[in-house]
Amino acid sequence: MREDILEVLISEEEIAQKVEELGKELTATYQDKFPLVIGILKGATPFMMDLVRTIDTQVEFDFMDVSSYGAGVSSSGEVKIIKDLDASVEGRDLIIVEDIIDSGRTLAYLMNMLKNRKARSIKLVTLLDKPAGRVVDIEVDHACFNVPNEFVVGYGLDYAERYRNLPYIGILKPEVYTD
């Protein structure tokens, strides 16, 4: 896999450090609450699993699959729910966990939906923010890293479903997706 990576953008160690910082923050914020941590499948799973293990208070897990991308690089702009939450979010404190906010379409749609379902509070945390990709304005509560407008993979992020298992964030060689 390494041969397909142009450059390691964010190392395993850098990720672990930011995850730990965020975990401490969330531990303090939600000490007397019982937040529902919602991972957005599939990209958010490595980040969510590392993050929840740094949170030292009671949490509940749930997952949603809201897709806006096809198999390739470009965003179709279409958002559809593939898997909804198991339980009601009414009156709950939600922590939405994402791997990347790019155009913002996925999360704008989702945040709106969860507000309508009467969540008590919603915090959006993301591993990566790509501000240059933004099409829809969206408020991100916490982004561990900003990334340039490059096609990044690893630590949950895929290209055509591959590279999610890389332990770091890397920039994919252009020839891998232009072939």
Task: Tell me the catalytic residues.
Answer: 102
CA distance 91 to 82: 24
Q: If phi over 0 gives left and psi between -120 and 50 gives alpha, with beta otherwise, what is residue 77?
A: left
DSSP single-letter state for residue 173: P
Work out which of 35, 39, 43, 104 binds Mn ion, going by CB under 5 A: 43
CA distance 59 to 48: 12
Work out which of 35, 46, 104, 170 binds ligand PRP, going by CB under 6 A: 104
Task: Give the nearest residue (CB) to ligand PRP.
Answer: 43
Report the length, in residues, of the chain.
179
Could you tell me the smallest distance in angstroms from the CB atom of residue 40 to Mn ion? 5
**Please, are residues 75 and 102 in contact by the beta-carbon 8 Å criterion?**
yes
Would you say 42 or 142 has its CB closer to ligand PRP? 42
How many residues sit in the footprint of ligand PRP (CB under 6 A)? 18
DSSP single-letter state for residue 103: S
Under the binding rule (CB under 6 A), the answer on residue 50 touching ligand PRP is no
Under the binding rule (CB under 6 A), the answer on residue 126 touching ligand PRP is no
CA distance 2 to 20: 26
Would you say 28 or 160 has its CB closer to Mn ion? 160
Which chain residues interact with Mn ion by CB under 5 A?
Answer: 43
Instruction: Give me the residues that bind ligand PRP (CB under 6 A), please.
Output: 40-43, 67-69, 75, 98-106, 158
